[in-house]
Structure 1
Amino acid sequence: MEKKVLFCATKDYHFEAFHLPYFKWFKEQGYKVHTAAHGDLNLPFVDEKHVIPIQRSPFKKENIMAYKELKYIIDNNNFQIIHCHTPMGGVLGRLAGRKARARDTKMLYTAHGFHFCKGAPLLNWLVYYPIEKSLARMTDCLITINTEDFQLAIQRNFRAQEITHIHGVGVDTNQYHPVSIIKKTELRIKKDYCDDDFIMFYAAEFNKNKNQQLLLRAFSLINDDVKNARLLLAGDGPLLDECKKLADSLGIGNKVDFLGFRKDIDELLKISDLAVASSLREGLPVNIMEAMACGLPIIANDNRGHRELVSNGQNGWLIKGNDEKSLAEKVIKLAGNFAMRKTLGECSHKMIERKYSTKKILEAKSEIYRTYMVDTEERVWGIH
């Protein structure tokens, strides 16, 4: 009997962004790789792609149909491992896989940042906490990606068979890495920026959580001190137009570039001097890890995901409580000190190489996967 693994998530771009190296690894182990998610991307290393109408909100009626379709897929395939990602992918995958789990299919779930955490809205605790705690009973391995979530799952007695912690999904250091001054200049010319521009960069969807307004307000405070500053904001989203209006009202519209959705994030990071991040809640932010891999210092709003990555005075600073004045002061300090930027950036890069590269995460994940790879013949005969 052939060996199969199913990856389940809300949207298929989650796989494209984070999981292709793990698809490839399973193929190398002789597995057929299946995916279940909403979306029509053509994904490499996938043998069978199941398109199902999963929605992000737990209150959408389409999720009832998605559950039925996913249950049919799971019941009619002998998956050895099912690995669920994203909140709704995790909910539907584990509910739909109950019968399969009784047949010894192993159920893994990666929590990419619990929606309930210190400082999260009460509604998040009321909605998501009881769901995650109850579904932990249907989970063979709960994988957390930051220390706070790991400790919460242990302390709150989540009853998964195993609870573990790995450092995220990994950063491709072949793509994201520091460049020489000459290469940086070449890339700046290509993208119409000047050598003496001081470029700050943030890539994120424009929504309430990502909180780009903080960056705009802080940027307006550095105008007199850093006259050559530029703020690059990549991404789109529901609050994009509102942020453009705010930039104009603050008098900084000519120094803020709203770049829209981009596929050249690696090059944009390589032309930058500093990465900034304003989000209110993060699990373990890939955008910050990519910036660190490119050797950038980080100034970020204080939250559990940023605390995992940024150490004050070592590779950047954390800003408490949406304090735009403090953020601006740190930017001014770095803008005028190339040596400090270089030192902090080197620390960022070394941290990624040591703990967060795709190579390191693949090593950690493959150990977890091997734990649940019961021999196919043993599964057929019920021997384990």
Structure 2
Amino acid sequence: MKNLLKIINTEKLGIFSFLVFLVFTPLLIKIRVVEDVYVEPLVPLLGLGLFFILLSQKRKMGGWWKTTKQIVLPNRLAILYFLLITVLLASFVYGYLLTGIFSSGDLLHLIKYALYFLPFPLAIYAGIFLRRRNVNTTLVLVILVGIITAIFSLVRIFSFIKSGGVVDFWEYSIYNRSVGALGQFFDPLSFTTGITGKAAHGTYGLYATVVLAVCLLITSRFREFSARWLTFFTMAAFIFYASILYTLSRGAIVTAGLVFVGWFVWMFKTKKIRVVVFTIVFLLISSVVLIWANPQVYQKFASTLRFLPSSGQISSNKWGDEWDVSLDPSSAGRLERWEKIIDTFKEKPLFAIFGVGYSTDNLQKFTGVSSTHSLFLDLWARGGILALLLAIAIWIYLLGTVFRFFFSGDSEVRTFGYLLFGFALGWFLDNLISGEQFFSDAPMIAFWGVLGLVESLRQIGKKSLDSAQDRTKVLIALTSADPGGAPQVVYDLLSRARSKDFEFVVAAPQGVFLQKFRKLGYKVFPIRLDRIRLDSFRKFLKVASRERVDLINSHGKGAGLYARKIGFILGVPVVQTFHGLHYDYRNRIARFLYISLEKMLARFTARFINVSSGQEREGLTMKLFPKSKSRVVVNGVDTAVVDRVAVNNTSFRRKLGLGSGDLVVTMIARFDPVKGHERLVGMLPELLKKIPNLKIVFAGDGERRSGTERLTKKLGVSSAVRFLGQRSDVFKIFKVSDAAILSSYHEGMPLTVLEAMACRLPVVGSDVVGIRDLVKDGETGYLVDLEHGSGQLIKSLSKLAKNSLLRRRMGESGRHFVENNFGVDKFVNATLKVYQQALLE
């Protein structure tokens, strides 16, 4: 007895109960609760399964709420789904308050929709517990149960035809269509059975299509088919295909077709061309035989669009003028319903915002229709715009979840990805123009259950790869690899983060830093991340997938746009590093678009690194990210490297075209509009009147260099300016300078200011975010307002020009400030800590 208790526990009981519900539910007819509300007879096992699993994990996870949250809400897709149900429940209450009509059937439907989504999170949990072998056994059982239901349907149909029954595709009957056991119910109050309704054929067709996808997956795993297995799965596929055709449901047949398309794509990718040819021939022959045996299949499709001779006088010899296009009554009726609902929205705009309440009676009362035949229009009409937006978000996340399977390291999961993506597309189209099937019992249970099991296989495979891979792999994505703050910061990180815990690869556009990264021994992938290009997206996705990265750290707007989309697709956390919140603050439209995009991308970001406290405050004020996700990691400078640089002041100045008596003020920055080079040059005529020996040194390159050079000539100040171009000896340039300057309109945390301070230079900078975090006015330099003229700049530079002791004192203060607060090792450790936090989330 003790040994038995060791084998059986609450967790195993919960998983067993759930799997019995998932696998065997399609074999049993439904139970009628109230009029038009039916439940599966095994639904108590679903509840028991959930209860036992929660009970088994309650102590480990810390209480009922935390346990329920972790198991029932494992990802954003589950959160969005239950949020939609919550909104619809609130809409039900709103509908009752609106009309006073209490529709118990609609309330019970919502409760059932919540229950029948549970196979998704429970299947993830069960699959991870069962491991791969037992998951595959479960999938085989799903196929076997599906075969039983399909054979049952086909036997019933052919018996009906053989007995002389006439099949009419407009007459909904369990005898002339494939419905499995889904078309019948048992009423426990009257002890009678009955037929559930016309939608059973479409419901069964989608269920059978899910099982067909599982069957094709199992088939694709046999590299060399034995005669026995080939015969079994060929017959199974034929039975499923026949049962789907005989549902006479256009949505189910199209969905099955898309599943086959997904399978063909996978077969082509794996170079199994003979299997594709065999399957196509098999489908053609099967279709001919099945349609010959039951012509109603062809007639149903042919009835959708009919070309009738025009009743009017022909005024042209064109073929199209001689014919009118006629829709079948079902399709035409849907268009009429949609038109009535849209007319209601026009007449009563508040209904377009809040809906009429989740009540069929309310829908009939206010719109004149009892069903919409479109999932999205139905949710909009009943639950309002919020329900519609949630439904769209659910489908985006659903397709994204399936799309993520394409890039799994597990071939079985990748195969499922193509098959389930075909099903999801067909299901989406069916819901777009039908609306009856998203919340239908059998497809919900089967699809969400299978999706959960595949997701568990993906997680099992990922954990296996992670255990085989000793270190966490991080993909660094850069918007630019030209000289600048972001590439230099990444270089500092990569040159010091050679720990046993992290491995790095880099993706960036071509630039001088790519070669530097290669010299450090890292894999580098040249990808244009500074422009929106489909080819760049494809390459980035390929690199992230092939390298099996665990985390992406993006730097800059362009890289951040790509990284967060791809992180979502692959299920990889993304850390976005902002090197300044650069936007056109003068252009309101550009500012609005930038802020809106960043707010949307924030949902797909695990952590944000802000390079200064001022930048973080600005981002929080703009609501670009939540405080809980933001971390401040300041840049670092290795002062030991600075001190190793030796230079002869007189001779090096002479090389740069500078004299010993010049007041040399250096600005090292790329020529970008945000850096304000032209603004500074525009102030030089006034500055030179006060400081005749002033020489401004620009080191760097960029799009605005030529324009800045032309401006110096136009203003007649070119003799006071030196354009050095791109330089690799910035510390030497700083060491022969008297001061540093940065005239930016906006900054994050400019590395050039830290480097100047490390070289013991006073810094004059514009009083903006980023610079304000570094320069202590009057102590390590001066903060000046450049928005309102050159007055403060002239005053500050004049003080420095007249007093060499002041320059030296400020330089030493700046050096101490850098040593105490901006050590490069501190920067590296803080960055790796953010990575660890993002991975834990």
TM-score per shorter chain, which class?
0.7 to 0.9
Cα pair 2:551 2:839 within 8 Å, conserved: yes
Find out whether 1:99 has 2:569 as its counterpart. yes
Bigger shift: residues 318-327 or 286-295: 318-327
- Structure 1 stretches of 5 or more lacking a match? 375-383
Q: Which residue in 1 is equivalent to 2:795?
A: 329
Which amino acid in the other structure matches residue 112 of structure 1?
Answer: H
Q: Distance in 2 between matches of 1:163 and 1:328?
A: 38
Bigger shift: residues 126-135 or 201-210: 201-210
After TM superposition, the structure 1 = structure 2 runs for residues 328-367 of structure 1, keeping only pairs within 5 Å, are 328-367=794-833
Q: Which residue in 1 is equivalent to 2:707?
A: 242
Change (3 A) 1:337 1:279: same
Deviation at 1:90, TM superposition (A): 0.9
Find out whether 1:18 has 2:489 as its counterpart. yes
Deviation at 1:157, TM superposition (A): 7.0
Per-residue CA deviation, residues 143-184 of structure 1 (Å, 9 max, x unaligned), is: 11122332244452725862111113x22323335989x943
Q: Distance in 1 between matches of 2:619 and 2:662?
A: 45
Change (3 A) 1:363 1:26: closer
Bigger shift: residues 360-369 or 91-100: 360-369
Q: Distance in 2 between matches of 1:364 and 1:124?
A: 33
Q: Distance in 2 between matches of 1:21 and 1:256?
A: 31
Alignment match of 2:747 (pick from 282, 285, 303): 282
Q: Which residue in 2 is equivalent to 1:113?
A: 580
Q: Distance in 1 between matches of 2:606 and 2:510?
A: 27
Q: Distance in 2 between matches of 1:210 and 1:288?
A: 13
Per-residue CA deviation, residues 281-326 of structure 1 (Å, 9 max, x unaligned), is: 1111112221111111111122111111112211111221252132
Cα pair 1:133 1:159 within 8 Å, conserved: no
Which amino acid in the other structure matches residue 198 of structure 1?
Answer: L
Which amino acid in the other structure matches residue 353 of structure 1?
Answer: E
Q: Which residue in 2 is equivalent to 1:162?
A: 629
Normalising by structure 1, we get a TM-score of 0.85
Cα pair 1:214 1:324 within 8 Å, conserved: no
Alignment match of 1:213 (pick from 671, 674, 678): 678
Deviation at 1:280, TM superposition (A): 0.9
Please state whether the residue corresponding to 1:306 is helix, strand or coil. coil
Which amino acid in the other structure matches residue 37 of structure 1?
Answer: A
Q: Distance in 1 between matches of 2:559 and 2:525?
A: 13
Alignment match of 1:297 (pick from 762, 766, 769): 762
Q: Distance in 2 between matches of 1:292 and 1:177?
A: 12
Deviation at 1:87, TM superposition (A): 0.8
Q: Distance in 2 between matches of 1:254 and 1:242?
A: 16
Please state whether the residue corresponding to 2:666 is helix, strand or coil. strand
Change (3 A) 1:100 1:239: closer
Which amino acid in the other structure matches residue 319 of structure 1?
Answer: V
Q: Which residue in 1 is equivalent to 2:474?
A: 5
Q: Distance in 2 between matches of 1:369 and 1:115?
A: 24
- Structure 2 stretches of 5 or more lacking a match? 1-467
Deviation at 1:73, TM superposition (A): 2.4
Find out whether 1:265 has 2:730 as its counterpart. yes
Change (3 A) 1:186 1:29: farther
Q: Which residue in 1 is equivalent to 2:716?
A: 251
Q: Distance in 2 between matches of 1:366 and 1:207?
A: 30
Deviation at 1:186, TM superposition (A): 5.0
Deviation at 1:224, TM superposition (A): 3.9
Q: Distance in 1 between matches of 2:620 and 2:714?
A: 47
Change (3 A) 1:130 1:274: same
Q: Distance in 1 between matches of 2:815 and 2:615?
A: 25
Alignment match of 2:552 (pick from 82, 85, 89): 82
Find out whether 1:176 has 2:647 as its counterpart. no
Deviation at 1:229, TM superposition (A): 2.0
Q: Distance in 2 between matches of 1:237 and 1:78?
A: 35
Q: Distance in 1 between matches of 2:487 and 2:625?
A: 30
Deviation at 1:361, TM superposition (A): 1.2
Q: Distance in 2 between matches of 1:75 and 1:84?
A: 16
Q: Which residue in 2 is equivalent to 1:309?
A: 774
Deviation at 1:99, TM superposition (A): 3.4
Cα pair 1:153 1:163 within 8 Å, conserved: no
Q: Which residue in 2 is equivalent to 1:53?
A: 528
Please state whether the residue corresponding to 1:176 is helix, strand or coil. helix
Q: Which residue in 2 is equivalent to 1:149?
A: 615
Cα pair 1:34 1:46 within 8 Å, conserved: no
Per-residue CA deviation, residues 86-142 of structure 1 (Å, 9 max, x unaligned), is: 1111111110111333xxx4321111112259x564234212111111111111111
Deviation at 1:268, TM superposition (A): 0.8
Bigger shift: residues 212-221 or 125-134: 212-221
Q: Distance in 2 between matches of 1:161 and 1:46?
A: 35
Q: Distance in 2 between matches of 1:243 and 1:32?
A: 42
Please state whether the residue corresponding to 1:82 is helix, strand or coil. strand
Change (3 A) 1:219 1:370: same
Which amino acid in the other structure matches residue 261 of structure 1?
Answer: Q
Q: Which residue in 1 is equivalent to 2:311?
A: none
Please state whether the residue corresponding to 1:369 is helix, strand or coil. helix
Please state whether the residue corresponding to 1:262 is helix, strand or coil. coil
Cα pair 1:296 1:344 within 8 Å, conserved: yes
Alignment match of 1:194 (pick from 659, 677, 681): 659
Which amino acid in the other structure matches residue 346 of structure 1?
Answer: E
Cα pair 1:90 1:109 within 8 Å, conserved: yes
Find out whether 1:65 has 2:522 as its counterpart. no
Q: Distance in 2 between matches of 1:291 and 1:121?
A: 32
Looking at secondary structure, tell me which structure has more helix per residue.
Answer: 2
Deviation at 1:30, TM superposition (A): 5.1
Q: Distance in 2 between matches of 1:28 and 1:240?
A: 40
Q: Distance in 1 between matches of 2:644 and 2:686?
A: 29
Q: Distance in 1 between matches of 2:700 and 2:798?
A: 25
Q: Distance in 1 between matches of 2:574 and 2:708?
A: 42
Looking at secondary structure, tell me which structure has more strand per residue.
Answer: 1
Paired residues, number: 364
Which amino acid in the other structure matches residue 222 of structure 1?
Answer: L
Change (3 A) 1:310 1:31: closer
Q: Distance in 1 between matches of 2:492 and 2:688?
A: 43
Cα pair 1:301 1:322 within 8 Å, conserved: no
Bigger shift: residues 22-31 or 130-139: 22-31
Which amino acid in the other structure matches residue 347 of structure 1?
Answer: S
Please state whether the residue corresponding to 1:222 is helix, strand or coil. helix
Please state whether the residue corresponding to 2:641 is helix, strand or coil. coil
Change (3 A) 1:331 1:284: same
Q: Distance in 2 between matches of 1:47 and 1:253?
A: 43
